[in-house]
A = this chain, B = another copy of it.
Amino acid sequence: MATIGQRNRLQFIILGLLNQQPQTGYDLAKAFENEIGEFWQAQHSQIYPMLKRLEAAGEITHEDTVTGEKLAKKQYTLTPTGREKLVAWVSQPSPELTPNKDEFILKLYFIKDVDDPRIQPMLREQYRLHQAQLAHLQQRQATVFPDTSTIDQAYGHYLILDHAIAREAHYVSWLTQYLTPED
C-alpha cells in the first residue's frame, strides 16, 4: 500500500518548466497564466510549497540572488534526480483521458428546450468569450512564431499553442452551428 496512487502532476510540470531553464516561483506562476495555462493551472500558493517539497526531495535546488538593492529571488534548478524523474514521467504512457469540465455545456444540457429564449444569448456570450480567446492565442502565435523557421526552436511551445488554437477554433465553430442570426 505505497507508491501507487501517484497523481500530483503539478510536481512534474514544475520539473518540466525548470528543465527548460532555471527560474523563480514567480516565473513559474506566470508560466501557468500563459501557454501552459491552456492545459494546466496553478496559483503561486500552490507553487511555493511544492518547490520546497521538491527541494527537500533533492529534485531541485535553488540559488539566492538579489535584484536591485535587496529584492530577494530564488532561482530554482533541476538536479540530476529531478531530471530523471521528469524523463520517467514524460516517457510513461498517459492512459487516462484527463477529465474535462465545462459549465456552459452543462447549462445548455439542463435547459433542454430548443426554443428556450435563454439559449441564444448564452450561445452568443460563449461565442464572444471563445472568439476573444482564439484571437488572443492567434495574436500570440503570430508574435512568437513570425515564420515557420522559428517553429523548431520551440517546438513544444508551438504544439501547445497550435492545440489551444485548434481547440478554441473548433469550439467557436461548434457554437456557430447553433447560433441563429441576431437581429
Chain A residues close to B by CB (< 8 Å): 9, 13, 16, 19-20, 35-41, 86, 89-91, 93-95, 97-114, 118, 122, 125-126, 129-130, 133, 152, 154-157, 159-160, 163, 166-167, 170, 174, 178
- Inter-chain contact B156/A109, CB cutoff 8 Å: yes
Evaluate whether A109 and B41 lie within 8 angstroms (CB atoms) in the complex, with A98-B102, A118-B90, A130-B97 already known.
Answer: no
- Inter-chain contact A159/B108, CB cutoff 8 Å: yes
> When chains A and B are docked, how far (Å) is the Cα of A109 from the Cα of B160?
6
- Inter-chain contact A156/B110, CB cutoff 8 Å: yes
> When chains A and B are docked, how far (Å) is the Cα of A102 from the Cα of B167?
12
Which of B105, B166, B178 sits near A160, CB closer than 8 Å? B105
> When chains A and B are docked, how far (Å) is the Cα of A114 from the Cα of B86?
18
> When chains A and B are docked, how far (Å) is the Cα of A97 from the Cα of B172?
13
10 nearest CB pairs, A to B = A16-B110, A109-B156, A112-B156, A39-B102, A170-B170, A94-B104, A109-B160, A39-B105, A41-B99, A90-B107
> When chains A and B are docked, how far (Å) is the Cα of A94 from the Cα of B130?
12
- Inter-chain contact A38/B100, CB cutoff 8 Å: yes
Which of B95, B133, B155, B174 sits near A114, CB closer than 8 Å? B155
A105 to chain B minimum Cβ distance, whole angstroms, is 5
- Inter-chain contact A41/B166, CB cutoff 8 Å: no
Q: Looking across the interface, which residue of chain B has its beta carbon closest to that of A105?
A: B39
User: What are 9 contact pairs spanning A and B, CB under 8 A?
Assistant: A9-B106, A19-B110, A86-B110, A89-B107, A93-B122, A105-B159, A105-B160, A109-B159, A111-B156
A160 to chain B minimum Cβ distance, whole angstroms, is 5
Q: Contacts of A101 on B, CB cut-off 8 Å?
A: 39-41, 98-99
